[in-house]
Structure 1
Amino acid sequence: MHTNEYLELETEDAIKRFHTGENFYSQHVFGYHQEERDGETGFVFRVWAPNAQQIWLVGTFNNWDESLPMQKNEEYGYWEVFTTKPAENDLYKYKVRQEDGREVYKIDPFAFVFEKRPDNAAVIHHVPQKKWKDGLWYGRKKRSNFFRRPINIYEVHASSWKHHEDGAPYSFADLKEELIPYAKEMGYTHIEFMPLMEHPLGASWGYQLIGYFALSSYYGKPEEFQDFVEECHRNNIGVFVDWVPGHFCVNDDALAKYDGTPQFEYQDPDRAANVRWGSINFDLGRPEVQSFLISSALFWLEMYHIDGIRVDAVSSMLYLDYDDGPWKTNHEGGNRNFEGYYFLQKLNAVVKLAHPEVIMVAEESSSDTQVTGLIETGALGFDYKWNMGWMNDVLKFYKMDPAFRKDHFNLITFSFMYMMQENYILPLSHDEVVHGKKSLMHKMWGDRYKQFAQLRNMYTYMMTHPGKKLLFMGSEWGQFLEWKYDEGLEWQDLNDAFNKNMQYFTSSLNQFYKEQPALWELEESYDTISIIDADNHNDSVLSFIRKSKKKKDFLIIVLNMTPVERQDFHIGVPYQGSYKEIWNTEMKEFGGTWEEHNPDQLTEDVPFKEYPYRIKTVVPALGALILRPESIKVSRKPPAAK
Structure 2
Amino acid sequence: MAVKKPKPYEIGELDQYLFGQGNHYEIYKKLGAHKAKKGKKEGVYFAVWAPHARSVSVVGDFNEWNMEANPMERAEPLGIYTCFIPDVKEYDLYKFCVETYQGEFVFKADPFGNYAELRPGTASRVADLTKITWTDNVWLENRKTWKHTEQPMSIYEAHIGSWKRHPGREDDGFYNYREFAKECVNYLKDMGYTHVELIGIAEHPFDGSWGYQVIGYFAPTSRYGTPEDFAWMVNYFHRNKIGVILDWVPAHFPRDIHGLADFDGTPTYEYADPKKGEHPDWGTKIFDYGKNEVRNFLISNALFWVEQFHVDGLRVDAVASMLYLDYGKQDGQWVANKYGGNKNLEAIDFFKHLNSVVLGRNPGALMIAEESTAWPKVTGSVEDDGLGFSLKWNMGWMHDFTEYMKLDPYFRKDHHYQMTFAMSYAHSENYILVLSHDEVVHLKCSMLNKMPGLGFDKYANLKVGYAFMMGHAGKKLLFMGQEFAQLREWSEERELDWFLLAEDEHRQVQNWVRDLLHLYKRNKAMYEMDDSWDGFEWINADDASRSIFSFVRHSRGKKKNLLFVCNFTPMARDDYRVGVPRKKQYKLIMNSDDEQYGGKGEERPEIYKAVKKECDGRPFSFAYKLPPYGVAIFEF
What TM-score do the two structures reach when normalised by structure 1? 0.95
C-alpha distance in 2, partners of 1:158/1:372? 29
**1:517 corresponds to:** 524
Q: What is the letter of the counterpart of residue 471 of structure 1?
A: L
User: 2:163 aligns to what SS in structure 1?
Assistant: coil
Among candidates 338, 358, 380, match of residue 387 of structure 2: 380
C-alpha distance in 1, partners of 2:385/2:3? 48
**1:539 corresponds to:** 546
User: 1:253 aligns to what SS in structure 2?
Assistant: coil
Shift, 1:363, TM fit:
0.5
CA change 1:559–1:286 in 2 (3 A) is: same
**1:637 corresponds to:** none
CA change 1:261–1:138 in 2 (3 A) is: same
* Contact preservation (8 Å) 2:525, 2:535: yes
CA change 1:44–1:4 in 2 (3 A) is: farther
Q: What is the letter of the counterpart of residue 302 of structure 2?
A: A
CA change 1:466–1:102 in 2 (3 A) is: same
* Contact preservation (8 Å) 1:189, 1:238: yes
**1:309 corresponds to:** 314
Instruction: Name the % identity.
Output: 41
Shift, 1:4, TM fit:
6.6
Runs of 4+ in 1 over 4 A off after TM superposition: 1-10
Shift, 1:438, TM fit:
0.1
**2:49 corresponds to:** 48
**1:28 corresponds to:** 29
C-alpha distance in 2, partners of 1:213/1:478? 35
C-alpha distance in 2, partners of 1:291/1:463? 39
Shift, 1:2, TM fit:
10
TM-superposition CA deviations, 1:607-630 (whole Å, max 9, x none): 22432211111111112111122x
C-alpha distance in 1, partners of 2:453/2:523? 32
Among candidates 251, 275, 278, match of residue 283 of structure 2: 278
TM-superposition CA deviations, 1:537-565 (whole Å, max 9, x none): 11111111110013341111111111001
Alignment of 1:148-547 (within 5 A): 148-166=150-168, 167-325=172-330, 326-547=333-554
User: 1:227 aligns to what SS in structure 2?
Assistant: helix
CA change 1:252–1:332 in 2 (3 A) is: same
* Contact preservation (8 Å) 2:202, 2:219: yes
* Contact preservation (8 Å) 1:273, 1:281: yes
Q: What is the letter of the counterpart of residue 34 of structure 1?
A: K
Shift, 1:530, TM fit:
1.1
Q: What is the letter of the counterpart of residue 441 of structure 1?
A: L
TM-superposition CA deviations, 1:132-151 (whole Å, max 9, x none): 22222223323432211110
CA change 1:203–1:247 in 2 (3 A) is: same
Which consecutive unaligned segments of at least 5 residues does structure 2 have? Answer: none
User: 2:155 aligns to what SS in structure 1?
Assistant: strand
**2:623 corresponds to:** 616
Q: How many residues align?
A: 629
Among candidates 71, 78, 92, match of residue 90 of structure 1: 92
**1:633 corresponds to:** none
* Contact preservation (8 Å) 1:601, 1:615: yes
User: 2:618 aligns to what SS in structure 1?
Assistant: coil
Q: What is the letter of the counterpart of residue 618 of structure 1?
A: K
CA change 1:160–1:6 in 2 (3 A) is: closer
Shift, 1:27, TM fit:
1.2
Among candidates 561, 564, 568, match of residue 561 of structure 1: 568
Q: What is the letter of the counterpart of residue 112 of structure 1?
A: N
Shift, 1:359, TM fit:
1.1
C-alpha distance in 1, partners of 2:155/2:316? 15
Which consecutive unaligned segments of at least 5 residues does structure 1 have? Answer: 630-642
* Contact preservation (8 Å) 2:199, 2:211: yes
* Contact preservation (8 Å) 1:441, 1:480: yes
**2:116 corresponds to:** 114
CA change 1:131–1:8 in 2 (3 A) is: closer
Shift, 1:604, TM fit:
2.5
**2:73 corresponds to:** 71
User: 1:192 aligns to what SS in structure 2?
Assistant: strand
C-alpha distance in 1, partners of 2:417/2:181? 43
Shift, 1:590, TM fit:
0.8
C-alpha distance in 1, partners of 2:6/2:508? 68
User: 1:57 aligns to what SS in structure 2?
Assistant: strand
Shift, 1:5, TM fit:
4.9
1:578 correspondence with 2:585: yes
TM-superposition CA deviations, 1:405-435 (whole Å, max 9, x none): 0011011011111111100000000000000
CA change 1:29–1:143 in 2 (3 A) is: closer
Shift, 1:196, TM fit:
0.3
Shift, 1:9, TM fit:
8.4
User: 2:84 aligns to what SS in structure 1?
Assistant: strand
**1:640 corresponds to:** none
Q: What is the letter of the counterpart of residue 449 of structure 1?
A: F
TM-superposition CA deviations, 1:453-496 (whole Å, max 9, x none): 11110111011000000000000100010001111101111111
